[in-house]
Amino acid sequence: MPVPEPNLYPDFNTIRLSHVCLNVADLAASRTFYTDILGLQVTDESNTHIYLRAMEERGHHCVILQKSDQPGTVEVMGFKTFDEDDLDRAAAYFAGKGRPTAWVERPYQGRTLLTSDNAGMPLEFYHKMDRLPSIHQQYALYRGVKPLRIDHFNCFSPDVDASVAFYSDIGFRVTEYTEDENSEKLWAAWMHRKGGVHDMAFTNGTGPRLHHVAFWVPTPLNIIDLLDLMATKGHVGNIERGPGRHGISNAFFLYVLDPDGHRIELYCSDYQTVDPDLEPIKWDLKDPQRQTLWGARAPQSWFEHGSAFVDTPTVAPALKATPIVAP
């Protein structure tokens, strides 16, 4: 199936991804990991929730840690719209596609639309979020990997072609993709709204599930510093893959697992994609430089482990093709 042509005039205008709500077992342990190890800043907390932001973000939060009896699951992924009217247009669009829609109350957010995509992943859209004073130049606050902003979500999809078609229709544009040459079906795709390589990516696998959430960091050296910190703070077992440089996106990367098994990517050095006529880059599934430019193979866990969405059934993918996997 060919990559769809981009829809440059979608029914509603999504600016970017915004935030994710992760369910955790132990708020104290998660707080330590996300603040002292990764370096996010607490913006509010209670006995049930911790709100965090990265260093250049002015919005109230990019991560919500929620104490739950379903730790390791994901409550919702959030996106910001261009204006308030886009929320009404989004509600009409999703209702027209047969997706559930509800207006929900969220702390620190204005009017918020809760819905789901074609695969059932819970999504929420808002326009207004409480704004906080800038801390970008308060360098005494920087810790851990010094995260600047949330960058993207990657999700397992049982049908990547269908996911790409759905998100293309709402204005996400494909930057790079992996095609299985035998079936000519998509195995993975990277799609953006904000002008980087991706806000959303899809990987063939049992889903829908969240594969990882990524944070943009200043330099590769910050990732090296994080590895040293994790190795000496009792978190060496949480290092899953990397450091390395992706062939896809050109990004320098590291994948780690939080205390509940949510996968986090630390990420920098991708490229600008703002031109509306930018042509997507195609990769073959068996190209060893697709995963890592230097040729290192990803571990089996990277293709199997993910975070389920609350109350969202998963199905196995129809496409059985596999990439090169580390022994």
Place of tokens 């029914």: 11
pLDDT at 291 over 90: no
**Radius of gyration of the chain from its Cα atoms, rounded to whole angstroms:** 19
Q: For residues 243 and 232, give the distance between their C-alpha atoms in angstroms, rounded to a whole number.
A: 17
What pLDDT score was predicted for residue 326? Answer: 83
Helix (H, G, I), strand (E, B) or coil at 199: coil
Average pLDDT value for residue range 74-98:
98
pLDDT of 192 higher than 80: yes
Distance, CA of 163 to CA of 60 (rounded, Å): 29
Q: How far is CA 79 from the centre of its chain?
A: 11
Tokens of 232: 């000496």
In CATH terms, 14-133 corresponds, of 3.40.50.800, 3.40.50.1820, 3.40.50.720, 3.10.180.10, to 3.10.180.10
Mean pLDDT of the chain: 96
Contacts of 1 (CB under 8 A, 6+ apart): 161, 184, 185, 186
| Average pLDDT estimate for 116-143 | 98
Domain ranges for the chain: 14-133, 146-308
The stretch 209-236 carries a mean pLDDT of 97
Asked if 12 and 89 count as a contact pair (C-beta separation under 8 A), the reply is yes
pLDDT digits (tens, 9 = 90+) for 182-191: 999 999 999 9
Residue 110 and residue 126 in contact, taking contact as beta carbons nearer than 8 Å: yes
CATH topology of domain 146-308: 2,3-Dihydroxybiphenyl 1,2-Dioxygenase; domain 1 (3.10.180)
Q: Tell me which DSSP letter residue 280 carries.
A: P
**pLDDT digit string (tens) for 58-67?**
999 999 999 9
pLDDT at residue 272 in the model:
96
Which DSSP helix (H) or strand (E) runs through 227? Answer: helix 220-232
DSSP state at residue 298: B
Q: Averaged over 201-216, what is the pLDDT?
A: 98
User: For the chain, how are helix, strand and coil distributed in percent, rounded to 5?
Assistant: 20, 35, 45
Q: Can you give the pLDDT at residue 1?
A: 61
Q: For residues 160-173, give the mean pLDDT.
A: 98
Q: Judge contact between 163 and 118, C-beta under 8 A.
A: yes
pLDDT at 2: 75
Which residues are CB-contacts of 80 (< 8 A; sequence separation ≥ 6)? 14, 15, 16, 17, 18, 59, 125, 126, 127, 129
> Global pTM?
0.97
25-32: list long-range contacts, CB under 8 Å, 24+ apart: 25/67, 25/68, 25/71, 25/72, 25/259, 25/260, 26/259, 27/65, 27/67, 29/259, 30/65, 30/258, 30/259, 30/260, 31/65
322 vs 43 pLDDT, higher one: 43
Beta bridge partners of 52: 42, 63
- The C-alpha angle with vertex 123 and arms to 299 and 120, in degrees rounded to 5, equals 70
First to last CA, the chain: 31
Topology alike, domains 14-133 and 146-308: yes
Tokens of 280: 């997507």
Share of the chain above pLDDT 90, in %: 94
261: pLDDT confidence band, cut at 50, 70 and 90? Answer: very high
**Mean per-residue pLDDT for 217-227?**
97
Query: How sure is the predictor about 29, in pLDDT bands with cuts at 50, 70 and 90?
Result: very high
Chain position carrying tokens 């060893």? 288
Q: What is the pLDDT of residues 100-121, one digit of tens each?
A: 999 999 999 999 999 999 999 9
174 contacts 6 by C-beta, under 8 angstroms: yes
